Chain A
């Protein structure tokens, strides 16, 4: 498969908007076994100063999955999904998003590097998340590692 270089930096993924739905937050809490009132009971969340149920720390990643095809850039770059692993993930938070918020996401590839003579290629995709009026909510970076000689080739 292809060996990627720094020319990939700046590659943009489609912008999109998504509403944070209360039901989805509750389902996510169920999936991770979270039962703390602040994440499942809107009144409890409000009494703690949140506008509604807060978006848990890693859920912004899941919201990006709601765009038409979150794996579109891997398809376009002809990266076989079976050779891809999630190598790292980071989030930087500015505001806590809550149920009912409409969030805008835009994404780009911010770094590309390789190890072991290109056997492992790393691509870092960053999402910028903001409220509709433009105030920043968070940035989060997904680092994927591609096994260049994986069986999926």
Chain B
């Protein structure tokens, strides 16, 4: 990213939001296989019920992967130095997750240009699923 492009990014800038399709059981099954995360709480309703839930819940890491897509849709992945989130609420079948980002800080350190982006993902009911931040840097 050149000087001019960096200058154009203002604190407060909203990244293009990323809206994922409503989560199906099939999507969780595919993610289960593709991610190697076979925790039964995400695919086995009997197990989920025995753990006191009404149904299976989505992998938090799938929701984080969607937030990652918002970042890499905006900037090349090689710019991401840190990506740090907390999971706030469980994500259920049928929920459509929207990931949002806002530039919160800009600074230059050791000739590297940095951006700190606040990251927030919500379900369609407005409940927060995860929040955190990403640090991006550019030579």
Contact = CB atoms under 8 A, between A and B. Distances in A.
Given A30-B34, A32-B31, A152 B78 contact: no
A71 B86 CA distance: 20
- Nearest 4 Cβ contacts at the A-B interface: A65-B36, A82-B51, A90-B84, A31-B34
Interface of B: 20-21, 27, 30-31, 33-41, 47, 50-52, 59-62, 64-66, 68-69, 71-73, 76-78, 80-87, 90, 132
A96 B78 contact: yes
Nearest to B53: A82
A89 B34 contact: no
Contact of B36 (A48, A56, A66, A86): A66
Contacts, number: 118
Interface residues of A, number: 40
A77 interface: no
Given A27-B33, A32-B31, A65-B36, A86 B61 contact: yes
A interface, over-half SS:
mixed
Interface in A17-60: 24, 27-28, 30-34, 36, 38, 48-49, 54, 56-58
Contacts of A58: 61, 64-65, 68, 83
A89 B64 contact: yes
A62 B36 contact: yes
Contacts of A34: 69
Given A32-B66, A33-B20, A81-B41, A150 B51 contact: yes
A91 B83 contact: yes
Contacts of B80: 57, 93
Contacts of A65: 35-38
Given A32-B62, A92-B81, A151-B50, A87 B86 contact: yes
A18 to B, nearest CB: 10
B77 A32 contact: no
A88 interface: yes
Contacts of A82: 41, 47, 50-52
9 contacts: A27-B34, A31-B27, A48-B76, A57-B72, A58-B68, A61-B35, A70-B36, A87-B86, A151-B50
A54 B37 contact: no
B87 A88 contact: yes
A31 to B, nearest CB: 4
Contacts of B30: 30-31
Contacts of A54: 77-78
A1 interface: no
